[in-house]
Amino acid sequence: MMDIRLYYEKAGDGEPLILLHGNGEDGTYFKHQMEYFSKDYRVIAIDTRG
């Protein structure tokens, strides 16, 4: 069995909206998008680099 750790941040309520960044970025890339979209959605920003 593998122990996988994945960092993510959540904000807001409602339908889920998942944000995935590109290579060379991290989860902080979505700071302003999270503030905006969390008014209407449950935003989940995943940091794929862990």
Instruction: Write down the pLDDT at residue 49.
Output: 66
- In tens, the pLDDT along 1-50 reads 788 788 889 999 999 999 988 777 777 788 899 999 999 999 999 887 64
Q: Could you tell me the residue range of the domain that residue 34 belongs to?
A: 7-47
Instruction: Write down the pLDDT at residue 38.
Output: 96
Helix (H) or strand (E) holding 31: helix 31-37
Residue 13 lies in a domain: yes
CA distance 28 to 37: 15
Nearest Cα to 12, choosing from 45, 34, 29?
A: 34
Residue 16 lies in a domain: yes
- Work out how many domains the chain is built from and give that number: 1
Residue 21 lies in a domain: yes
Residue 1 lies in a domain: no
Q: What are phi and psi of 39, to 5 degrees?
A: -70, -30
Q: Are 4 and 47 in contact (CB under 8 A)?
A: no
